[in-house]
Amino acid sequence: MSKPRITPRQFAEIYKRYNANLAKVDCGRKCAPLNKGQPVCCDTDNAIPVVEKAEFELLKSRTDLWFKYKPTDAASRKIVNELTSHACAIECKGAAFCERDNRTIACRSFPFYPYVDKAGNFIGLTYYWDFEDRCWIISNMQVVERAFVDEMVAAFDRIFKLDPEEFETMKDHSATMRRVFSRKKKIIPLIHRDGGYFKIKPGSGGVLTPCTPDDFNKFGPYKSEAAYIRAVKAAGGKLDPAPKKGYLAP
């Protein structure tokens, strides 16, 4: 087996510095009523955590929360089969058993990933667009805490320095987003690493236009409060009249 690109000890160091709350609101309580009571990001039917094997080694040394993911259908088998030799798919016991200090990098970051521009610069955070209709945060980016942005940026600066292949993966993913959003004539929302919100318009060549979160689209059941209430009722979920201040997901 080849040498890991990041060691378990290095992952442990990153964990210590990447622990900020995504938001002050309990975002897991927003999506859970639409997903049989489980936060979307904590449910492998929606999102399968993929980690470096060295990260999994670290987690196994700290907790019994995580175990190897077993594909359940053709789509999940395809995801697992396409993983590199350095990576593996894992899952946890569920949101009710979450151990905050033992979340993966993927859990800490969801639904965001580091956006790399055409010139190869990591300029900020945007989201995994496959989750637009399921993740409440994507439609409410104004609640994202600056401390979370700063810690995620610092974590990925470190990861990219230790693992150039991970940088290339995110660079490729960013390029794919530009193609997809350009074809759909959608703006790319960005939380800049140095502060502020920006949008990248289709056909702009990557120009960053300053904006506010109000300029970003809202999706699916999160388009409005009325749409959300209707969706929860249709899903047989239960509205939380007074969400507790805190943090559940990611």
Q: For residue 240, is it within any domain?
A: no
| Domain tally, the chain | 1
* The pair of three-digit structure tokens given for residue 107, joined into one six-digit string: 């859990």
* Number of C-beta neighbours around residue 87 at 10 A: 17
Q: Is residue 150 one of the residues assigned to a domain?
A: yes
Q: Which tokens hold the place of 91? A: 């899952």
Amino acid 113 reads Y
CA distances from 138 to 83, 112, 218, 220, 237 (A): 26, 9, 7, 11, 20
Q: Please list, residue by residue across 183-194, b when 16 or more beta carbons sit within 10 angstroms of its beta carbon and e when fewer do.
A: eeebbbbbbbbe
| Structure token digits, residue 52 | 């470096």
26: tokens are: 């309990």
| Distance from C-alpha of 23 to C-alpha of 25, rounded to nearest angstrom | 5
Answer yes or no: are the C-beta atoms of 120 and 171 closer than 8 Å. yes
Q: Which residues contact 15 (CB under 8 A, 6 or more apart)?
A: 58, 101
Tell me what pLDDT residue 247 has. Answer: 37
Residue range of the domain that includes 66: 8-234
SS (HEC) of 29-78 = HHHHHHCCCCCHHHCCCCCCCEEEHHHHHHHHHHCCCEEECCCCCHHHHH
pLDDT of 168 reads 96
Residue 18 lies in a domain: yes
pLDDT tens by residue, the chain, 250 residues: 456 689 999 999 999 999 999 999 999 999 999 999 999 999 999 999 999 999 999 999 999 999 999 998 998 999 999 998 889 999 999 999 999 999 999 999 999 999 999 999 999 999 999 999 999 999 999 999 999 999 999 999 999 999 999 999 999 999 999 999 999 999 999 999 999 999 999 989 999 999 999 999 999 999 999 999 999 999 999 887 654 443 344 4
Q: What does the pLDDT read at residue 249? A: 41
- pLDDT of 239 reads 86
Residue 248 lies in a domain: no
pLDDT of residue 1: 46
Assess if residue 3 is contained within a domain. Answer: no
Nearest to 196, CA basis, from 181, 178, 209: 209
